[in-house]
Structure 1
Amino acid sequence: MSGVAGRKYLITGGASLIGSHLTRALLDAGAAEVVLYDNLSLGSGAVVEALQRDDRVRAVRGDVLRLPSLMDAMAGVDGVFALAAYLTLPLAADPPLGVEVNVMGALNILEAARLLGGRKVVFASSIAVYGGEVHDEVTEATPFRSNDVSAAFAAYASSKLLGESMGRLYAQKHGVPFCAVRFSTVYGENQHGRGVNALYILEALQAVRDGRAPTIRGSGAEAHDYLYAGDAAAGCVAAMERGAPGEAYNLASGRSTSVNEIVAMVLEEYGSPLRPEHVADTRRARSTEHDRLLISPAKAREALGWEAVVAVRDGVRRLRRWLDGLPDAPGRA
């Protein structure tokens, strides 16, 4: 029997892409209750509505910046998944609020867990914490380097590093059971437009579906590690069950896929004869750019018993079916 069965969980930022998949993963594992805590400033009300069709799901309109309401929502749960955050693009659009949510929001979750006691916290971090230091295989010991990445990306990465550091501090000083999961580029059903690198998939799908040539910024050789949201959710559950206090785990596929390959998959998925159009990349808010990215998931595999199972091509197909409104698409209510 799963260690999740019969337990209650809180997901901050529960109306998000990962939050929706995590909710379903917890329910499938037998969770007694899942509380979605979200102010819906970035999350989707439609996602919450669909998830609440299961009577084990309860939605709470709340903000991680408000400690009293956060503590009220956390009362009675066994564990907390701290997903609420501003990604690179929204943080670049509103730096003061983005930094406050990512830093003070994370601190409030830890403080609530300390005051209430007995709540394990799984913190959603990112492989952004490695910055530009991604030339060779990236492990959890790889250091952060920010001098050759965009300011917005470095600010986001720094906020996640600080969240992880505060979590380790609370684990050491107050005994709060805390661990972090570092996501690579997550995509899947309920995809939003806030992920810098996941946008490559979403934009290509939307263009080809509408009969337009997909646009590729630059040469298209830029590579990323694409992680299906269902796999990301499974990794979160594994971290809740088996993650060690103060530890961080890469949740990544371990495979490098270029933007050119993504666009080719999309064109093949639609059986389209269109050819991509290459344009200059003028974005200021963007992540690191390399033609090969190897993020090692070995620690998560060995310590958590987790590994990604959905290949990128299959994940693109699932996302396409969801975008096209096909009734049998995974994740569609």
Structure 2
Amino acid sequence: MREDEMNNGARSELRIGAAMVGGDAPVKPDVVAVTGAGGFIGSHLVEALLARGHRVKALVHYTGRGTHGWLDTFSADQLAAIDVHSGDIRDRGTVQRLVEDASVVYHLAALVGIPYSYLAPQSYVETNVVGTLNVLESARTVGTPRVVVTSTSEVYGTAVTVPMTEAHRLRGQSPYSASKIGADKLAESYHLSFGLPVVTLRPFNTYGPRQSTRAVIPTIISQLAAGTGRIELGATKPTRDLLFVADTAAAFIAAGTAPAEAVLGQVFQAATGQETSVGELVRRIAGIFGVTPEIVVTEQRLRPSNSEVERLLGDSTRLRRHTGWQPLSSLDDGLKTTVEWFLDPGNLSRYRADRAV
């Protein structure tokens, strides 16, 4: 399956506020910081934080065009509550300016996409490992009250036992996953060595509106939308635990707002406890379109054989017990919402269905 991790009703933007975060947690107008704020999950998290009344300091990757990723699609009212910082997670000064005065730092900035990590592994280390070091060291310097670090279910590699708990062994089956293991363990070391108030969240395979077509669900949708009756994919047998992005955003907020004694220094995974194969995903999404496509497995979309993660199935008992979080979106509802979003011509025009890396 040479696709990015299957990462990741009403439109997603409206559903985020409905995901459960520790019951009826009070809305606080604190200033919070989000790295990777212009990305897929980061932009949804920013929306959810704004809905709770926060002001958000948002780090987006600097470009000469002055673009801010998915934040460019936000309303004027939303943007009024966001302090956008254009910069690079690899620059310590940029990161330290971002985290000053923030009550919580949500660190989501990362170089994603497993296929590209085979081509440019050094860039993954510099962004994902060194970038995380910059966040941790900056938070340590300014005394940030809480840092939520993003890990991933890819740190586990193929499941040895299921359902997988936070104690499952780690295995770097791609340069991407190895870089995330490095970031994950750096966060652990900063808590144990310096007492930094860190929480590490390992979401399973997040999907939903705004996801890159490097991930398999947008790949399937965009190819079906092209109307050729043919879908090019990698392996179709691997299974994933698929989490709708609204629920992932809620998991981040749960980790950032739960009582300190319940979460600091701990690792939590957000998962549904259900697994779905790539082939089953095609069947369900094609059913929404009302078509029966031809599936073509191409060499370009296959991972190297020893790098393929065959099975991921998570257990979120710890996160549920410590924070009250729970996923609210069924797979069918989440897929319908995602298809609806991608079929909007303005959204679909941002993607290329033929892009495999």
Deviation at 1:231, TM superposition (A): 0.7
Q: Deviation digits for residues 287-314 of structure 1, max 9, x if unmatched?
A: 6443x54211111111121121111111
After superposition, the CA RMSD in angstroms is 2.3
Question: 1:156-235 maps to which residues of 2 (within 5 A)?
Answer: 156-194=176-214, 199-215=215-231, 217=233, 220-235=236-251
Name the structure 1 match of 2:106. Answer: 81
Name the structure 2 match of 1:278. Answer: 296
Measure the CA separation in 1 of the matches of 2:171 and 2:117: 19
**TM-score for both structures, normalised by structure 1:** 0.86
2:339 to 293, 315, 320: 320
Question: Is 1:34–2:56 an aligned residue pair?
Answer: yes
Q: Deviation digits for residues 128-163 of structure 1, max 9, x if unmatched?
A: 1111344422100111235xx4xxx2x222222221
Measure the CA separation in 1 of the matches of 2:274 and 2:62: 33
Deviation at 1:174, TM superposition (A): 2.1
Residue 278 of structure 1 aligns with an amino acid whose one-letter code is: V
Measure the CA separation in 1 of the matches of 2:294 and 2:231: 6
Instruction: Give the SS at the match of 2:192.
Output: helix
Per mean C-alpha deviation after superposition, the further-off stretch among 14-23 and 171-180 is 171-180
Do the aligned partners of 2:159 and 2:312 also contact (CA within 8 Å) in 1?
A: no
CA gap of 1:110–1:266, structure 2 versus 1, over 3 A, is: same
Name the structure 1 match of 2:321. Answer: 302
Measure the CA separation in 1 of the matches of 2:244 and 2:144: 31
Measure the CA separation in 2 of the matches of 1:2 and 1:131: 34
Per mean C-alpha deviation after superposition, the further-off stretch among 302-311 and 11-20 is 302-311
Q: Deviation digits for residues 59-117 of structure 1, max 9, x if unmatched?
A: 11011111112111211211111101112233333222211111110001000000000
Do the aligned partners of 2:203 and 2:271 also contact (CA within 8 Å) in 1?
A: yes
Do the aligned partners of 1:214 and 1:277 also contact (CA within 8 Å) in 2?
A: yes
Measure the CA separation in 2 of the matches of 1:276 and 1:34: 45
- Aligned residue pair count: 313
Name the structure 2 match of 1:94. Answer: 120
1:107 to 110, 133, 136: 133
Q: Which runs of 4+ in 1 moved over 6 A?
A: none
Residue 254 of structure 1 aligns with an amino acid whose one-letter code is: G
Instruction: Give the SS at the match of 1:212.
Output: coil
Question: Is 1:49–2:69 an aligned residue pair?
Answer: no
CA gap of 1:40–1:309, structure 2 versus 1, over 3 A, is: farther
Question: 1:53-68 maps to which residues of 2 (within 5 A)?
Answer: 53=76, 54=78, 55-68=80-93
Name the structure 2 match of 1:8. Answer: 31
Do the aligned partners of 1:51 and 1:57 also contact (CA within 8 Å) in 2?
A: no
Do the aligned partners of 1:255 and 1:294 also contact (CA within 8 Å) in 2?
A: yes
Do the aligned partners of 1:204 and 1:214 also contact (CA within 8 Å) in 2?
A: no
Structure 1 residue runs without a partner (length 5+) = 328-333
Measure the CA separation in 1 of the matches of 2:46 and 2:199: 19
Instruction: Give the SS at the match of 1:129.
Output: helix
Measure the CA separation in 2 of the matches of 1:126 and 1:93: 20
**TM-score for both structures, normalised by structure 2:** 0.81
Deviation at 1:179, TM superposition (A): 0.9
CA gap of 1:47–1:301, structure 2 versus 1, over 3 A, is: same
Instruction: Give the SS at the match of 1:313.
Output: helix
Residue 156 of structure 1 aligns with an amino acid whose one-letter code is: Y
Measure the CA separation in 1 of the matches of 2:235 and 2:86: 43
Do the aligned partners of 2:121 and 2:176 also contact (CA within 8 Å) in 1?
A: no
Measure the CA separation in 1 of the matches of 2:200 and 2:154: 13
Residue 239 of structure 1 aligns with an amino acid whose one-letter code is: A
Measure the CA separation in 1 of the matches of 2:277 and 2:323: 28
CA gap of 1:307–1:172, structure 2 versus 1, over 3 A, is: same
CA gap of 1:219–1:169, structure 2 versus 1, over 3 A, is: closer
Do the aligned partners of 1:232 and 1:251 also contact (CA within 8 Å) in 2?
A: yes
CA gap of 1:120–1:256, structure 2 versus 1, over 3 A, is: same
Do the aligned partners of 1:13 and 1:82 also contact (CA within 8 Å) in 2?
A: yes
Measure the CA separation in 2 of the matches of 1:96 and 1:252: 30
Deviation at 1:271, TM superposition (A): 1.6
Structure 2 residue runs without a partner (length 5+) = 1-23, 347-357
Measure the CA separation in 1 of the matches of 2:328 and 2:149: 22
Instruction: Give the SS at the match of 1:91.
Output: helix
Instruction: Give the SS at the match of 2:212.
Output: coil
Measure the CA separation in 2 of the matches of 1:225 and 1:293: 6
Do the aligned partners of 1:5 and 1:30 also contact (CA within 8 Å) in 2?
A: yes
